[in-house]
Chain A
């Protein structure tokens, strides 16, 4: 509970008391108005928890919207680019949604909870857009962001830790599946989803049971070397796994102020999420036009020589600037220096050789490196355990 003497204006997630106690570095960042840790103890150690044991991330600030009613599926199908009828009950689907101009407003996940019952999990606040989109549909749209708390449990021992917590049968849950468990008189929803590219789960719980969930999880997870991680470690993991971050790798269309700064799904390498067989969905007309005329940009994953992250670098081809880097990290497990870039068309074919103009600073001295790099066709980290059912014992 917030009291008048609270020193911060920032919102606190339902796990805050536990997060604050574990956050030894006292390193806080802001996320959509919430105060959340960038790191708890040590970024590298947290990263290695994700990849070698199990890491826990508080993702409560994500926006969660409940969509119910007889037109729920039709509504979502008009809202997002992919075919929602293919997301069966008990399944989760990753998707993007666009405005009428075919520009990506956000990416997120759709949880098909039951008949005519869905939850949309989004990075950006979307209440107004979701309500406007409900015109003409028999649906109810409810913002559940404050009522639902969520933890990601990611890494090879995540399943074992959760089994130890008593989630019987969890090992049978397939990737992108979801299931319910009774929890302290309420319901705990578990989905096999995540943002790290590893074996992992996300736990969804009523906000008033959040602290209890944290305590149970860490108690059961101790033998499985469970450890909380902050946004810095998450960033390394998601770049290694090839995941775009809204607000970093693209500007959500409705918050872009300057014209031409937003991107279409094709320009973000997310064309596979667009189902043109659907007769109507937001952005369809504009995307058909883009298909005919060609895109302006192309998303590319780059393998950059050396170990200096190519953060904010210009990308050159033949000495000419053809793009910029939106995310970059040295990826310890894959031992690759990865960068995500926005390249002007027609650049970005897999295998194309480019140069990253990297600036970095050591003790106030700036250095420029012209690092050769090449476009790669797939994320550098994609282990079989991510998909295995049941996941092996670690």
Chain B
């Protein structure tokens, strides 16, 4: 059944599934090989305690590209929404929360000046987001050997910049390389607002709000606004349900999807990728191999550094992919009670990051491979909008936790500074303590608890380093430099091998553009498949 394959695609992450779908639509015979037991990669739902399941990596949907959803007809293939247009709440221990949804800002401490400043800032940065979104919808231009398509794309980028108008353009040039800390300080007074912006600028990255580059990551975070999102959305059944819809759509297009099929090597024939070998010993051949796995896995493990030229091996060895986000899952016997939140707000995006300095301090730790003593959290209580994830009356609390190192000194199971506790136990306790400051009774409600460190995420989801974006979204690793110069436009720099995952342009998040753009590029290059 798998003879005469056109494309072998490694990894059924959401990007892999999107890529396979478009390729099949264009008439290619595609086999998708996924190491895990379910599709979706880091878009997954898993049971973490009997009767309790959760979106175990990504939890909020806020930038899935609208064209991709439409082309793949995801709602027909089972995608349902548990909630949409959810605001972000920056929590306060006394219950004076700040709420942000698009240009709307609410909260006791928000002055008229801040409200006005936010509206202006939101509108201006909204234009930058649209410009970025346009750039991300096509392959990044190749500056060295620019062909016609590249020149047009460059032109579009330049034209986009021009169309911004003079003031907006010079403001973009001024801020794009700077950091969110300074920018927020410049625009606003309200510490909660500043902190929420700072949080969004570092979420998923190994960066603090003072790190240069964080204005770019902030704009990236807001991309979804160009794809029709306002605030965040929650998928019914969790991210795993989105993955099921993606898989169903792909299968309906004729894609063959094999689960539990771990690829151990990408096989090169006379310098060209032409097949793969599986852990089972099986081998497949095809004219084109596409990898949705992260770049370090793809080049370092599957191709092998020795099978590429020195310059490339060196680039690969320098990709920064150490994650800094952990995930905490709590099984609760009742709805958590956060000071000052009503039941409807409990289903929104809850952020703990009281001020910018708190965030920066939380980040300091990870520079030295330590976890934050006072971490910042992105919390969802998914069972409020989607009760199916827990037994009746019970709830799940899921938190993205920053900052956690890939591995602290002595390992996660090694002893910590807290007497008798491993690092894992100690960090879990610190996070719970932090949540308890905002939801005082929470400890008594916890019936089970799971902490996923970046190392766990690497193991469970096959992402090297456990990085949200597969490779850091730093300015030296984006656009035509993603994942590294010489491997761009979804070509890997190795003939016959393409990249379609978060480690390729434009980057991570459940967005689908890397997958779609890669498919377009493969189809455009045509002929050989």
Contact = CB atoms under 8 A, between A and B. Distances in A.
Nearest to A280: B307
Contacts, number: 54
B309 A283 contact: yes
Contact of A132 (B268, B306, B313): B313
Contacts of B311: 99-100, 282
A282 B271 contact: no
A119 interface: no
A135 B309 contact: no
A264 to B, nearest CB: 14
B270 interface: yes
A394 interface: no
Contact of B310 (A279, A282, A288): A282
B271 A136 contact: no
Contacts of A280: 268, 271, 306-309
A137 interface: yes
Given A135-B317, A285-B271, A79 B306 contact: no
Interface string A64-91: 0000000100110011000000000000
Nearest to B308: A280
Contacts of A181: none
Nearest to B310: A133
B305 A135 contact: yes
Q: Interface range on chain A: under 10, 10 to 19, 20 to 34, or 35 or more?
A: 20 to 34
Contacts of A282: 309-311
A360 interface: no
Contacts of A238: none
A129 B271 contact: no
A298 interface: no
Interface string B301-344: 00011111111111001000000000000000000000000000
Nearest to A102: B309
A284 B305 contact: no
B314 A136 contact: no
Nearest to B312: A100
A285 B313 contact: no
A125 to B, nearest CB: 16
A133 B313 contact: yes
Interface string A196-240: 000000000000000000000000000000000000000000000
Nearest to B307: A280
A218 to B, nearest CB: 42
Given A280-B271, A284-B271, A137 B306 contact: yes
Interface string B285-303: 0000000000000001000
Contacts of B268: 279-280
A367 B141 CA distance: 53
B270 A136 contact: no
Interface string A141-167: 000000000000000000000000000
Given A79-B310, A282-B310, 17 more contacts: A75-B306, A99-B310, A100-B309, A100-B311, A133-B310, A133-B313, A135-B317, A136-B304, A137-B305, A279-B271, A279-B307, A280-B306, A282-B309, A283-B309, A284-B271, A285-B495, A288-B271
The 3 A-B residue pairs with the shortest CB-CB distance, nearest first, are A136-B305, A100-B311, A136-B306
19 contacts: A74-B306, A75-B306, A78-B306, A99-B310, A100-B309, A100-B310, A100-B486, A129-B310, A132-B310, A133-B313, A135-B310, A137-B305, A279-B268, A279-B269, A281-B309, A282-B309, A282-B311, A283-B309, A288-B271
